[in-house]
Amino acid sequence: MKNSYSVALAVLLAGYMAIHQVQGQSFVNPISDLADPFITYYNGYYYYTGTTGGNISMRRSTTLEGLKAAPLQVMFTPVGGQPTHFYWAPEMFRIDNKWYIYFSASLSTSTNDMRTWVLENTAPDPMAGTWVFKGRIYDASNDLWAIDGTVLNLSGTNYFIWSGVDYNANIDKPQRLYIARMSDPWTLVPGRTLLSSPTLPWENNGSVNEGPEVIKKNGKVFLLYSANGCWTPDYRLGMLSMNDNLDPMNAGNWYKHPNPVFQSNAPVAAYGPGHHFFFTSPDDSEDWFAYHATTNSSGACDASRTTRAQRITWNSDGTPNFGVPVETGTKQQAPAGEVALPVGSPIANGIYKIIVQSSNKPLDVAGCSVERGANVHQWEEGDVDCQKWHIQATNDGYYTITSLQGGMVLEVANCSNANAANVQMWAPNGADCQKWSFVAVGGGFYRIVSKQSGKALDIQFGGSNNGANLQQYDYLGNNQQHFRLDDLGTEEAMVPGVYRIISKQSQLAMDLAGCNTGNGTNIAQWTWLNNNCQRWSVEDTGDGYFMIRSLESGRVLDVPSCSTLPGANIQQWDAFSNDCQKFSIQPVSNGFYSIINKSSGLAVDVNGCSTSLGANIQQWTYWGGDCQLWKFERVGNPSARTAHRETNKETAMQRETTLSLNVFPNPTDDYIQISGYPGDHGVEAILYDALSREVARWNTTPNRQNKLDVSGAYPGIYLLRVKNRGTTTSHRVVIR
C-alpha cells in the first residue's frame, strides 16, 4: 500500500506537470444547421457540407465547436445545362490527389428526376481552386433514379454505392442500395449489384434504404444505411457487413444485421437520427460519425434537422457501437488531437447566467424550448438549463452564445439590422447575426453587441416583469442594455490533487466498495464518511489525461480488460498507466465534470442512474445525464486510516447483493433477463420511462431463464428497478 508521503509526492509532481499539460477540448451539439451532413478531417481542418437545396457549400474549422461560427461558403452554383433543383447530400473524397464531390440533384422541379453528379477540384485545398462539373455518374445499363452516392475503396479498387430503384425511372419507391465498380472517379462500369432492400419489419415505414456509408475496421467492411422515411420518427440506421478480403459485388458476401444499430432517443428529444458520415479524429486514434436528427417527435424531413457528432466505440466482436443520440446542449469531449479552442477577451470561455441590470433577472429561453425560433426574454431566476449559456470565443474577436437547453445559439431574427428586431434561438450557421462582442461599461456590467448590426441587446421597454422581451436597439447607455455575467463554470482545467468525487444525480461519494484494497474491487457510491476509501488522488499523466488513485489502496480506477462495452464495471487495479486507466476530466456546467475513459471513449456512470447506497459505478455511452456528471471537491489527506464503516454482517451482505445482479442483454430490442439473485427467491422488476412513469411490471420465479418482454416499448432509455429480499437495485436499460 502506498504511504501518505508517496501520495503527497505524487500529487505535488502531478501539480507541476499540469502546468505543461495540453488539455482536451470540448464541443456541444448541434454543431451546425444542415441535414445530410458530411465531415472529413484533412490537413488541419474539418471540412463540412450538407444539403442546401440549391448549390454546394462548405464550412471549415480546426475544431468541431468552431464549425458553429464558420461561414458557409458557396463552392458551386449551377449554370445552363446543369442540374438546378434539389441539391442533396454532397460528399467529398480525395482520389488520386484530386478532390471529388458527389451530390444528388434534378434537372426539373420534380424529385422523380433525381440523379447523381460529380464535381472535380485539383487544388490541394478544397475551398480553393475551381470545382469543375464532370457530369452524371450512373450505371449505363440501369439509367434510373439515384441519390446518396458514396465511395468504397477496397484492395485498390473504387466502388460506388447509392440508393436507387429497381426498374422505373419515374418511381422513387421502394429505395434500395446498389453497388458498382468505378472505372474512374466519374464513370461506373455497367452492371450493378443489389445489396439491400427495405424488407425487415422495422424498416418499412416509407420503404426506404438510403444514405449508405462505409467504415472499415477489424478485417471487415461495415455498410451503414438509413432506413424508413426521413419524415418519420422511425428514421434510423441499419447495417450490412462483410469480410474485407471478399468481393463486395457479390451480394452473398454481405450479411444484413437484423436489428437497427442507432435510432431515436426520446428522453433527450432526438428523433429520426440518420444520414450519417464517418470521420476520424485529428490524430487518427478515434472513429467518429456525424448525423442529423430533429426535435420533432413525429419526425421531420425539413429545416428542423441539425447536425450532431459523437464518437464510435467497438464491441468485443469487432462490430461498431454507436450508443444512443447524445442530448443537445451537453458538452462532449472533442476528438483526440484537436487544437485549442480560441480564447477571447474580455470574457473567458465558460458557462454563465446573463443578468439584466435593470431587473436583476436572467435571460431565459421561453418555455425552455429546444426548437428553432424559440423566443428569449427575462424571467425569474431558477436552476434551469434554459437560463445557462455557453459563451465561446470565435476566431474573429467575437463570441457565440449557446443555450445549455438544446444547444441552439442566440441570433437576431432574420439577421435584421433594424431597431427592435427580435432576438431568438436558432441552429448555428456561422452568420454574423449569431456573433456577439462584449464591451465593459463599468461596475462589472457589459453591453452585448451584434456583429451583424452593431446594435446592443436590449430588454423591451426596460421593465422588470417576467417575460419582457429581448431585442436589439441602438445603444442608449441605459440599464436595460447592460448585463452582468455570473460565472457558472469557466473552462477551468482539472487540477491534480486529492478530492472526494460526488455524483450530481445522487449526491453520494465515489467509494471503494467495502474498503477492499485488492485488485478488482468494484467502485460504488456511498454516503460521505470522510475516510480514505472515498479520497482520490487525481494525477496528471502528461498527455491530457489523468489517473484516479485510491488513497486507501494506492491502486487506480481501471476498466477491466480494457473493455469497450457499455455497462462494464469500473474497478481498481495496480497502476500500469495504460489507456484503460486514463481518463479525460472535462468541465461541463455548474462545477461538474464528465469523466471519459481514454481507451473506450465511454463515460464513468452510476448504474441505472440510481440514487441508492452501493449502486455500482460503470462505464456507459455519454449522453450528458446527471448520473454521468461529477463534482470534484478538494479534501484533506488524513494521516491515519479511518475505520471501516461495515459494522454488521447484514449491511455487508446487503451491499454485496446490491452489486451482484446482472441485467442482459443491454441494449435490447425484445427481452431482458436478470441473473445473480441468490437462493430460491424470485424478484419483482418494474420498468420506468424517462418521466418516471411505470411501463411494465414482472414478478419472476427462481428460474433464471425467465425473459421479460420489452418488445412493445418505444426505443429509448429506461430505468429498471429490481426488488429482491428487501434490497432494491436500479439499472438503466436501452431499448432499441
Tens-place pLDDT, residues 622-654: 887 889 999 999 886 554 333 333 333 333 333
Under the banding of pLDDT at 50, 70 and 90, the label for residue 702 is: low
Residues 395, 384: Cα–Cα separation, whole Å: 29
Task: Output the average pLDDT for the chain.
Answer: 87
pLDDT at 587: 82
More confident residue, 108 or 702: 108
Q: Hey, what amino acid is at 602?
A: L
Contact 398, 451 (CB under 8 A): yes
Stretch 453-468: mean pLDDT, rounded?
Answer: 94
Q: And the C-alpha cell for 665?
A: 442483454
**209-217 β-sheet, strand order:** 209-217, 220-227, 236-243, 255-256
Sheet of strand 662-664: strand arrangement = 662-664, 671-675, 708-709
Evaluate whether 26-333 and 660-735 have a shared fold: no
Q: Which residue carries 457479390 as its cell? A: 250
Residue 185 clears pLDDT 90, i.e. is over it? yes
User: In which band, very low, low, confident or very high, does the pLDDT at 20 lie, cut at 50, 70 and 90?
Assistant: very low
Give SS3 for 256.
Answer: strand
Q: Which three cell numbers stand for residue 93?
A: 473524397
Mean pLDDT confidence for 236-260:
97
β-partners of residue 46 are: 41, 61
Q: Are the C-beta atoms of residues 215 and 195 closer than 8 Å to each other? A: no
Residue 14 pLDDT? 35
DSSP assignments along 64-111, one per residue: TGGGGTS--EEEE---TTS--EEEEEEEEEEETTEEEEEEEEESSS-G
51/103 Cα distance (integer angstroms)? 9
- Neighbour tally for 112: CB within 10 Å: 13
494 pLDDT band, cuts 50/70/90, is confident
Q: How confident is the model at residue 490 (pLDDT cuts 50, 70, 90)?
A: low
The CATH number of 493-634 is 2.80.10.50
Calpha distance 572→237 (Å, rounded): 36
Q: Which fold has domain 350-490?
A: Trefoil (Acidic Fibroblast Growth Factor, subunit A) (2.80.10)
Question: What confidence score (pLDDT) does residue 171 get?
Answer: 67
Torsions phi, psi of 681, nearest 5? -95, 135
**pLDDT tens, 647-681?**
333 333 333 334 456 777 877 878 888 876 655 56
User: Which conformational region is residue 126 in: left (phi greater than 0), alpha (psi within -120 to 50 degrees), or beta?
Assistant: alpha
Higher pLDDT, 727 or 586: 586
How is 614-634 classified by DSSP, letter by letter?
TPBEEEE-----GGG-EEEEE
In the three-class reduction of DSSP (H, G, I as helix; E, B as strand; rest coil), residue 15 is classed as helix
Distances (CA, A) of 730 to 265, 513, 612, 715: 20, 17, 8, 19
Q: How many CA atoms lie within 13 A of 643 on its CB side?
A: 3
Cα(first)–Cα(last) distance of the chain, in Å?
Answer: 45
pLDDT band at 438 (very low <50, low <70, confident <90, very high): very high
| Secondary structure string (H, E, C) spanning 379-445 | CCCCCCHHHCEEEEECCCCCEEEEECCCCCEEEEHHHCCCCCCEEEEECCCCCHHHCEEEEEEECCE
Paired with 19 in beta bridges are none
What was the pLDDT predicted at 100?
Answer: 98
The class (CATH top level) of 660-735 is mainly beta
pLDDT band at 726; cut points 50, 70, 90? low
435 pLDDT above the threshold of 90: yes
The DSSP 8-state label assigned to residue 372 in this structure reads T
Confidence of residue 353 (pLDDT cuts 50, 70, 90): very high
Nearest to 210 by CA among 270, 142, 145, 259: 145
Quick one: which H or E segment has residue 658? helix 649-658
pLDDT digits (tens, 9 = 90+) for 500-518: 999 999 999 999 998 999 9
Question: What's the average model confidence in pLDDT over 54-71?
Answer: 95
Parallel/antiparallel/unpaired status of strands 115-121 and 98-106: antiparallel
pLDDT value at residue 644: 36
pLDDT for the residue 12: 33
Helix (H, G, I), strand (E, B) or coil at 7: helix
Contacts for 667 with CB less than 8 Å, ≥ 6 apart: 566, 733, 734, 735, 736
Q: Is 649 exposed, middle or buried (0-12, 13-18, 19+ CB in 10 A)?
A: exposed
CB contact at 8 A, 143 and 169: yes
Active site residues: 36, 210
Radius of gyration of the CA atoms of the chain, in A:
27
Beta bridge partners of 382: none
Phi-psi region of 368 (alpha: psi -120 to 50; beta: other; left: phi over 0): left
Q: All 3 cell numbers of residue 549? A: 488513485
Least confident of 152-161, 205-214, 385-394, 697-706: 697-706
CA 720: distance to chain centroid?
A: 24
User: What are the sequence ranges of the domains in the chain?
Assistant: 26-333, 350-490, 493-634, 660-735
Look at residue 677 in the predicted model and tell me its pLDDT: 61
Query: What amino acid occupies position 545?
Result: Y
Is the model's pLDDT at 64 over the cut of 60? Answer: yes
The pLDDT value given to residue 557: 97
Q: Tell me the CATH architecture of domain 26-333.
A: 5 Propeller (2.115)
pTM of the predicted model, to two decimals? Answer: 0.77
Maximum average pLDDT range among 57-61, 336-340, 383-387 = 57-61
Q: What is the DSSP letter of 63?
A: S
For residue 346, cis peptide bond before it (omega within 30 degrees of 0): yes
Contacts of residue 443, defined as CB under 8 A and 6 or more positions apart, other chains included, come to none
Q: Specify the pLDDT at position 7.
A: 35
Residue 115, pLDDT above cutoff 90: yes
Q: Which helix (H) or strand (E) holds 719?
A: strand 716-724
Cα 374 from chain centroid (whole Å) = 22
Q: What phi and psi, each to the nearest 5 degrees, are found at residue 652?
A: -60, -40
Cell of 669: 430490442
- Looking at per-residue pLDDT, the higher value among 430 and 333 belongs to 430
H-run or E-run covering 657: helix 649-658
